[in-house]
Structure 1
């Protein structure tokens, strides 16, 4: 139990403190369940730059903060030893997280932003949890008793992360407003693009080899028999914030009669790289004193390495929006996220916004993630203090109220416009 909790705590620290900068998390989007590609105005910065062409204000300044942590195995009620050990059997464990903060300045169809951004994901053999972060690199006898034997495959470990400063410039414009006299059904076609210059640090997680642990008994005494084959777990990272890269976002939005909007966007097209890196890891060997006394021994792996690259999570979004009235808007999106470690996430989301009370617009949404293997319920609200000053709040997963959440997400933003 202690080792498993240490493992979860270690990963949480990685994503909430090492990644002290931001990914694309907007408070309005969190409240509706996803960064919808059909969002417009300042909220579109993180999901589709084409939506910036539909801003209503001449000048605006927006600040935001967001937080997201999720996994594919544990629900928020599962903190007993038996529940954790049973869950860590049979499937790979995926842990991911993001934090977010930044400031964007909007003038007409342009946006200049200074943000932080950070994102990371780690996938590993679930049975490696106790070995990776325990006080001693051993599998507990109690955990092994019912299983008989466990083989930990460190070769299944993969993942990466980036923590960078981000300076960006966006531009959006209408490229068609009516294709012909007979095409009044098309109100406008909009295009947008964002260029990001990123600078910071990147991390890569990997492993090799296997460790096998078997439950044995000798004269009524139980013990664990180990064997190891080139078992290694290591992390490779750039030095002193030397990683940098150029990244692009592109998007299209088509607005039609009947108050429909259709959109497509491609986000995070690019990668980070550094000329040098450092390897920090552990190699595991078996030391045997007698047949009932095996010990896993940790040997530190530290050294210089060469070039390191990291592809940012590439996101493709396709969606639609229907404005049923000035007070009710419905969103639907499909997005595919491809991570540097090879994981692909398919996300299906629907969301809504209700503006009957203009002072406090309300938001509600739901999404399903194929990596998280879970439905997430979100809610949010705006507080329109005046025509020039607004605050937005978003939170999920509300299923935590029934002890069934695998994620937590929170966002807050302020908007001053003229």
Structure 2
């Protein structure tokens, strides 16, 4: 009976979400922006209720000995909530990406051809803790005319439910279609597999969390999946670059809170690197609370600073303040290593050589390449007017920064005059 009830609940939610998408596709940009403003206002007026629900989740998590990393991702603060409100407020003001029209690069017979951006449909976000991410995703989806199904994972049920109810009330007050936002994050029993195999309703599934969650969703889903990625980013330190730049790039990459999307966790160095400079870097990092590890050569040379790295660590993210160092002969060897072991979503080079920068940019098989700058991830860009949900490392539906345009698809229109 419970299984049947859960199945009926899921089907009802999916049908509501799909019908809402059809209605949103015909809605005006001003109506959708007003809905986002209403969500922002609802959250802004409900910090106390959200934080109270979050406290319950935190207490339960500690009793259940939940890993510290998940508790960090789960713990909401007024600052995190205010940042969410500001992102929604900015989304409400941003230009509408839907139905942007541009010329097609080809023609069909004698007809005119053009393309326009359209909503994808129903999106499902399966997120591990990160309670505020549901609100941000709701803003992205509503701005682009999509409906959203939220499925939280981990010990964040109270927080997820509190935020979802506030958003749903705000959308209702804005007179937007019922089903714009469906929440399956509670205790209804809807499994991830049950959700991600509903490809007749879902246009996109976005899993967000640890690699184990991403892998689980990807293996189970019959609906299209947009994989997000965090951690295991590499840095190659060219031997002629001074310590100050390397130190800044590493530390700044770890400053994005709470999710370490582009945090540098592996550093490749030249065998000619000055040992005293390495020791200075090790001391700085240890003072900042980092655990340090090294390959066989480096851990033997600097046993007071570096623990040995296990072979499996090179291809797996730490998602913590841990950095491993490895010696490579040159940039070409570094690129080969990065292409084999990095997560492929963001890798970094510090160099004063233009040929090296071009080689790195051309040959590294990653979605994002950073040269002489920090790869730190900003959900709301400090420069420019861009907003990002995360970073994808896959080659398919989308690769790189997950922006508003990621939630759209192309419609190609062939316009004739009734004659051949």
TM-score by length of structure 1 reads 0.25
Report which of the two has the higher share of strand. Answer: 1
Report which of the two has the higher share of helix. Answer: 2
TM-score by length of structure 2 reads 0.25
